[in-house]
Chain A
Amino acid sequence: MQPLAREFIAAVREAARDGELGDTTRAEWSRTRDLLADLSRERAAQGFSPTETATFVFSFKQAIFKRLRSEFGSDAETLAEETWTATELFDKLGLYTAEIYQKAREEVIVRQQQEMLELSTPVVELWHGILALPLIGTLDSNRTQIVMQNLLEAIVAKSAGIAIIDITGVPTVDTLVAQHLLKTVAAARLMGAECIISGIRPQIAQTIIHLGVDLGGVLTKATLADAFQVALRKKGLAVAKG
């Protein structure tokens, strides 16, 4: 902490000597900004709160005020003015750390979501020859291709005739997601398997229609349970009460 504080004060001093105290977006302040950005990102990753992160900056205020008092103590007007300038400056720098912190947290969340996607896309065999791929999360990462590839490989490995792709857990179906789905359905068909897409919520159905995506050639069902029932029927099987 000590060396960082020294470095920060040195950067502020340098910027204040050459530049505007009122505008910390200027080039003179870039070293100070970079320093605070690194600090904020590091703390966001370590799980500090935004308040704790901004406190690093605010904690310098007291020392600065003390210094100003000893320098301008007799001149009340200048003291008030300088104190105000210093307050504004350190508030701005403090808020800047909060802003970077927020951005860093968002990045962490995006990364976590991607990791989650990797974990949550197993191909499961519901019955002999009936596979299901419950998709959860964001679909436009590179993972999609791998996930779809896995499904095609499982179709071959299990000699499956039917594959259910469930998109209940996919928040957005845009043209890219639709394209991935259509490609997978077409590839599965070439391998002799039929795909059923399930879990199309009403709002997603409406959006797909407005987008102009044609799912006409694909069997779709509202729920995974419905899709499973269709799959069983196609195999000449039925669920009966015991």
Chain B
Amino acid sequence: MVVGKASEIRVASQDDVVVVRQAVRARAVEIGLNLVDQTKIVTAASELARNTVVYGGGGTVLLESLLDGGRRGLRLTFEDRGPGITDIEKAMQDGYTTGVGLGLGLGGARRLVSEFHITSRPGEGTQVRVTKWNG
């Protein structure tokens, strides 16, 4: 697998969430994702970016274009140094929230992408990495 263009964006405020969505949309178009898949990865990015701001206290996202055999992909790695998640399984459950949301962000993001990895250490932070392939 080859990692092509990579760029990092700050994710610290609600405005940054908008910037992340725009950047992800532009990349998704660039690697040739169809309209439905563009919308899915942008929406997943919106969820993860907002979690980074709201629960992670801000962080970064790394956008990477991937080439694997004949298929192209977009990989997003959200990272923060916030409080972390004690019980990941619980956090992934639909309807579970410690805030005022619907509790669908993490589970929804997982269903919208091709690959989903979350790692978190209480007190150290959280990393969520998602990939969408064009086929």
Contact = CB atoms under 8 A, between A and B. Distances in A.
A213 B17 CA distance: 20
Interface in A61-106: 106
A179 B104 CA distance: 10
Given A172-B21, A172-B43, A207-B39, A213 B14 contact: no
B50 A211 contact: no
A204 B35 CA distance: 10
Contacts of B101: 175-176, 179
A207 B40 contact: yes
A141 B15 CA distance: 8
Interface size of A as a range: 20 to 34
B58 interface: no
Interface string A204-234: 1011001111000000000000000000000
- Best-buried of A113, A175, A204 by chain B (most CB within 10 Å): A175
A138 B18 contact: yes
Contacts of B94: 212
A172 B14 contact: no
A114 B35 CA distance: 24
Contact of B40 (A107, A171, A206): A206
A110 interface: yes
A213 B19 CA distance: 24
Top 8 closest A-B pairs, CB basis? A211-B108, A203-B39, A174-B46, A210-B111, A203-B36, A175-B104, A175-B102, A212-B104
26 contacts: A107-B15, A110-B18, A113-B18, A140-B17, A140-B50, A141-B14, A172-B46, A174-B43, A174-B46, A174-B50, A174-B108, A175-B101, A175-B104, A176-B46, A203-B36, A203-B40, A204-B39, A207-B40, A207-B112, A210-B40, A211-B104, A211-B108, A211-B112, A212-B107, A212-B108, A213-B108
